[in-house]
Amino acid sequence: MFRPPGSLRPWRAGPCPARWGRCQAGRSRPQPLRLSQPAASGHGPGRRPPPPPGTWKVGGLRVPVPVPVRPPTFPGGGAAGGRAFSQGASRSPGSEPRYSLRTRLLVVAAVGLQLLLGWLYLRSEKEKRERQKRIEELRKVAIGQGDFQLVDHTGRPCSKGDLKGSWVLLYFGFTHCPDICPEELEKMSRVVDLLDRDPRLPRLQPVFITVDPERDTVAAVAKYVKEFHPRLRGLTGSPEQVREAGRAYRVYYSAGPKDQDDDYLVDHTVILYLLSPDGLFMDYYNRYKTDAKIAQSIKGHMTTYRSPFS
């Protein structure tokens, strides 16, 4: 139903009221309603009171301004929500990647290098700790810590320091030993020959120290060592010097009673000692270790050894 502006009554057909300006121009039908903007403030003389916020003046009435309704957004794009959703993490198939392949490879290489350097540092620190621990263990064992001053089978003085720089396989015995000492020295010679087959390994120096200085003179020792190996070095000295050397390696020896020919046996420790080029005691082998086992063990020490003093 059409209502004329400013009236709440229903409109009736008939002559236009005189107050309708446009109808006075000869129109027989009223114009349709027009929405006007909110009226200006009207407080005070010549001013209208301010309209309530959010209203429009419709004819003589104030109606609330319609609130525009935003279309809902939906995942997956479309006219309603495609824009909002396309600004997220997903990327359209044809768009450029954020970082180039070269940049990504450089980042991966840098991270890998950092990890490698860290691993090398940790390994180096671990080796240092293990080396220090090994030195402490050898000091606790206290084998081979002392020095000795002897004479070799050529008559030259030989101390423990003179043997440094070479891997040494050391044995204490005596030249009149009927069975055990010859067996051990032959085994020692075979160990040397087994290791000599590998040219990558350092030369092993076999050394014999007598525990019978009274009978084992320089000449007697020189004759004796030639029976076993050309590199075998025989050492002797005064009873005090020999005792000092035996004490350094915790070697036990004791001469037995003499018979009618002034012959006697010497009871002694039967051990092969392995010394590093730094003069450190590394390992020992009893008479039940075969030459192959001993050679294998020495080879392992030679290939893994790192001087704790370097």
> Which residues are near Ni ion by CB under 5 A?
173, 177, 180-181
The nearest distance, CB 131 to Ni ion, in angstroms, is: 36
Residue number with CB closer to Ni ion (167 or 224)? 224
Reference 279, options 157, 144, 172, 169; nearest CA is 144
Residue number with CB closer to Ni ion (152 or 212)? 212
C-alpha–C-alpha distance, residues 45 and 109, integer Å: 82
216 close to 255: Cβ distance less than 8 angstroms: no
Q: What 8-state DSSP symbol labels residue 191?
A: H
C-alpha–C-alpha distance, residues 273 and 287, integer Å: 12
225 close to 153: Cβ distance less than 8 angstroms: yes
The nearest distance, CB 287 to Ni ion, in angstroms, is: 10
C-alpha–C-alpha distance, residues 156 and 181, integer Å: 24
The nearest distance, CB 132 to Ni ion, in angstroms, is: 37
The nearest distance, CB 253 to Ni ion, in angstroms, is: 9
Reference 171, options 191, 149, 199; nearest CA is 191
The nearest distance, CB 142 to Ni ion, in angstroms, is: 24
The nearest distance, CB 173 to Ni ion, in angstroms, is: 4
C-alpha–C-alpha distance, residues 63 and 68, integer Å: 15
The nearest distance, CB 161 to Ni ion, in angstroms, is: 27
User: Nearest residue to Ni ion, using CB?
Assistant: 177
Residue number with CB closer to Ni ion (128 or 287)? 287
∠ CA 91-95-101, nearest 5°, is 100
274 close to 283: Cβ distance less than 8 angstroms: yes
Q: Where are the alpha helices (DSSP H) in 8-142?
A: 21-24, 78-86, 101-141
Residue number with CB closer to Ni ion (167 or 172)? 172
Residue number with CB closer to Ni ion (210 or 276)? 210
Residue number with CB closer to Ni ion (167 or 228)? 228
Residue number with CB closer to Ni ion (167 or 249)? 249
